[in-house]
Copies of this chain bind each other. A is one copy, B any other.
Amino acid sequence: MKEAEKDPKKTMGITVKKNDDMPEWYSQVCLKAELADYAPIKGCMVLRPYGYAVWQGIMDFFNAKIKIRGVKNAYFPMFIPESFFEKEKQHAEGFEPEVAWVQSKDGGERFAIRPTSETIMYDFYSRWIRSWRDLPLKINQWCNICRWEVQDCKLFLRSREFLWQEGHCVYETEDECEKDALNYLEDYRAVAEDLLAVPVIMGEKTDKERFAGAKKTFTIESLMPDGKALQLGTSHNLGQGFAKAFGIGYVGKDKKDHLPWQNSWGISWRMIGAMAMVHGDDRGLVIPPKAAATKVVIVPIIFEDSKDKVMKLAGKVQEELKHLDAFIDDRDEYNPGWKFNEWEMKGIPLRIEIGPKDVEKDQVVIVRRDTLKKEFVRSKDVKATAEKTLEAMQKEMFAKAKKAMHENIVDAKDYNDFLVKLKARKMVKAAHCADEECEDLIKSETQGATARLIPFNEKLKQGAKCIKCGKPAKYAAYFAKAY
């Protein structure tokens, strides 16, 4: 214990409360739980092993989903010739400020480091696709992405380089194309809600917020505990614009030439940030059981005279919980209290304590990370109880987060009410005229609130007027400041 006390990195918990200073609390949680670290390069971060394990879980979960949909993984070059970039004008303009360029040593064309891969992939597609037999073409890649303009790294949420997946599919008909774009959005909802227990709202982006070059952009958004929205995944019906720009055509069953329809869709390691922000507490991270590679830590309470018995039971419990990647923290340089703090900081879902008295009573103590509730469990029931507890924990974490989110989504009576509620850090539902200038006005008058999405299944009242300008409304949108 003495040595540990000398190590400031190890003994210091989170020094601010989540409710007092969310940004500082969030940064400390990510750093101290060892999910990530800031890089000595402007805007960059490293995904540490503990964070990578969550990312691996996301990859495995999502790969299984898209395999069912017939999507195959591949890998395309990260260098994109400048001339490709210019082919789809809106797209090029949208991404221009974010691109890092590499100059060829022989003085030839510049290459962009991919800020997204539409242009490089569709150049290949134009050669790979010949006839209706080659469609649908469904390809995904897991890769790194560069958005050079980012100067200040917000761990997971905003960084100059990040990891993501991007899916790019080609179809004969718009109907298939849009239906599938919505399928991938549903898979994103599953990653967020079913794996990470992070509640989301699904909908469509307004014209103003649409992806550069897309016909429609669908989105899943969540609301963080500080009242800021976080876009967690988007899926675009690209229409036929890219196909035209890149010369992607196919010969149909009718032997005639056709232009296909395309969609693209992506999620990034931002998902990990959402998980940390939504579930974490003043003790640190809380990882939902399904997203935790290691679901159980066993802490034996060691005294010299009973050590063997305690370790024997600990070993037996570990063996039974192998499938939950249970491990025993048997380091003798730290005391149990210190270990409890460390694993609470790291958010391991279950802690099992075993002391000499527990051995006598043939029991163990199971502690849930989210509620910190203790339960005494007979040794023979450990496996069943641990599994049941993890399942309940996953469900309850999601229910709690969902309730909290919906409590912060409110209606506005009029524009004044709208402003007051935005200021109170709510996400506000309001009818809107769909005019981009009107949307701009709202943004400037609220110091940054934007239309996050037009939720699906949200019906506009008959005769509804725009909250801002009073003209007839086109849709109801959710407004909030966003990360």
Contacts and interface: CB of A to CB of B under 8 A. Distances in A.
Contact of A77 (B9, B39, B56, B139): B39
A258 to B, nearest CB: 15
A124 B45 CA distance: 11
Given A7-B130, A41-B79, A130-B7, A74 B52 contact: yes
A144 to B, nearest CB: 6
Interface in A1-38: 3, 7, 9, 37
Interface in A147-176: 148, 160-161, 163
Interface in A44-95: 44-49, 51-53, 55-56, 72-81, 84
A49 B161 contact: no
Given A102-B101, A124-B37, A45 B77 contact: yes
A222 to B, nearest CB: 23
B76 A46 contact: yes
A81 B41 CA distance: 7
A100 interface: yes
Copies of this chain, tallied across the complex: 2
Nearest to A162: B75
Contact of A40 (B72, B81, B103): B81
B41 A111 contact: yes
A130 B9 CA distance: 10
A471 to B, nearest CB: 41
A105 interface: yes
A291 interface: no
A400 interface: no
A26 to B, nearest CB: 20
Contacts of A148: 102, 105
Contacts of A72: 49, 52-53
A143 interface: yes
B73 A52 contact: yes
A480 interface: no
A456 to B, nearest CB: 31
A123 B40 contact: yes
Contacts of A56: 73
Contacts of A47: 74-76
Contacts of A131: 3, 7
A381 interface: no
* Interface size class, chain A: 35 or more
A144 B49 CA distance: 18
A461 to B, nearest CB: 48
- By secondary structure, the A interface counts as mixed
A230 interface: no
A113 interface: yes
A131 B148 CA distance: 36
Contact of A49 (B40, B44, B73): B73
Nearest to A37: B124
A208 interface: no
A437 interface: no
A46 B73 contact: no
A96 to B, nearest CB: 12
Most buried by B among A74, A101, A120: A74
Given A40-B81, A130-B7, A144-B144, A75 B101 contact: no
Contacts of A407: none
A163 B128 CA distance: 22
B161 A77 contact: yes
A133 interface: yes
B101 A74 contact: no
B77 A46 contact: yes
B130 A77 contact: no
Given A40-B81, A46-B124, 8 more contacts: A7-B131, A39-B124, A41-B80, A46-B76, A49-B139, A56-B73, A78-B146, A79-B160
16 contacts: A3-B131, A40-B123, A46-B74, A46-B76, A46-B124, A49-B139, A51-B74, A52-B72, A52-B73, A52-B74, A52-B75, A53-B72, A78-B146, A79-B161, A103-B103, A143-B144
Interface of A: 3, 7, 9, 37, 39-42, 44-49, 51-53, 55-56, 72-81, 84, 100-105, 111, 113, 120, 123-124, 127-128, 130-131, 133, 139, 143-144, 146, 148, 160-161, 163, 331, 333
